Amino acid sequence: MLSGKTIVLGVCGGIAAYKAAALCSKLTQAGADVRVIMTESAAKFVAPLTFQTLSRNPVAIDTFDEKDPSVVAHIDLADRADLFLIAPATANMIAKIALGLGDDMLSTTALATTAPIFIAPAMNVHMYANPAVQHNMRILAERGVRFVEPGTGQLACGYVGKGRLAEPEQIAEAVAAFFRGGRPLAGKRVLVTAGATVERIDPVRYLTNDSSGKMGYVIAAAAAAMGADVTLITGKATAPLPGGVRTVRVESAAQMLDAVLDRLDGQDIVIKAAAVADYRPAQTFEQKIKKTEEEMTLKLVKNPDILQAIGERKTRQLVIGFAAETHRVEEFALDKLRRKRCDLLVANDVTEPGAGFGIDTNIVRIFDANGLVEALPLMSKREVAERLLALAASRLERERE
């Protein structure tokens, strides 16, 4: 899978640098052309000769150590990379990349590359939980940087907690999975709802919510990239429409329900990511309501439940719902999944930094009828979409066998 791929492996200073040697070996054995960049601190933990021997390529450390006069070393490495991987990544390196600082060979090359960037953090548990570190990781995730989450256990400093570098096998698999990509949804029909519904009070006023449509839009885009024939039914949204999908615009919950049920037959996967208003005004006024009294009472009636309607009418479709919660996430998610006959339900706590409306990241937990399937850490919404769709594709494949 990695044959012919150039992977630039950045190694930062920390005791976990010894694991990077095993990672380098695994990537090389998988066929990758591994080019290692070490920080000066990393070279105090593991000798550059180790990586040179394992990768069969020279190791870069000093920005000004230009061995080939025909190229600028850090630009050449940045341009060669099919993937840029930093493992282990220290809090310092994460901060430098987030701030756009380039004061050594690794950070300078990272700034210059246009390749996808993967970061595998490794640090003390309290450093990892520090708000500044979490903020920097959130910034990078919003820019599309992918993280290989650290493990939990005994740390070299003596603490027990989250912060140990992911195992080399796990990191190598994340890299391989990225390149596998492929088109696992080729020939499948996917329907996605996204955005917020609008419930009119009068011609100038309405009830709605804060959904930007980003999660649903990246799901639609990712499904198309995986080969699916995608129909996107969208309410109000601020995110740019994805290309390569069939788009149906609606306004109210009733309109979205009709659009979904009209297209439900023949779909393989239905993903209901839209934020649909639970209630609508009992009366919609044809003209603007004028301000008269000190108080105004607005009577609301319940909207049709689109997800429940899908669950009741589904035949062979794999139905995926979403639940945005503020507390008791698992309890409410499992209850919603069972009541509405979903096959999978994606839940998040919108009060968590990095998991709310209108941003490019999310932190989600995916459930099925048996409970938690997978907990995804802070990552870009595109990564969440890709993981969710890969899970859906594997379930469709399993049902076919």
Of 12, 24, 157, 342, the active-site residue reads 157
Given a contact cutoff of 8 angstroms between Cβ atoms, the answer to whether 391 and 373 are in contact is: yes
Given a contact cutoff of 8 angstroms between Cβ atoms, the answer to whether 8 and 115 are in contact is: yes
DSSP letter string over 80-139? Answer: H-SEEEEEEE-HHHHHHHHHT---SHHHHHHHH--S-EEEEE---HHHHH-HHHHHHHHH
Residue carrying the six token digits 């429409």: 241
CA distance 305 to 253: 8
Q: Given CA atoms 148, 151, 156, 160 in this order, what sign does their dihedral have?
A: positive
Alpha carbons within 13 angstroms on the beta-carbon side of residue 252 total 14
Q: Which residues does 251 contact at the CB level (< 8 Å), separation at least 6?
A: 197, 198, 200, 235, 236
Q: Is 6 helix (H, G, I), strand (E, B) or coil?
A: strand
Query: Which backbone phi and psi does 289 adopt, to 5 degrees?
Result: -75, 125
157: annotated active-site residue: yes
DSSP letter string over 319-348? Answer: EEEEEEESS-HHHHHHHHHHHTT-SEEEEE
Q: Which residues does 69 contact at the CB level (< 8 Å), separation at least 6?
A: none
Q: Which residues pair with 164 in a beta bridge?
A: 151
Q: Which residues does 32 contact at the CB level (< 8 Å), separation at least 6?
A: 2, 3, 5, 6, 7, 175
Given a contact cutoff of 8 angstroms between Cβ atoms, the answer to whether 230 and 223 are in contact is: yes
CA distance 364 to 4: 34
List the catalytic residues: 157
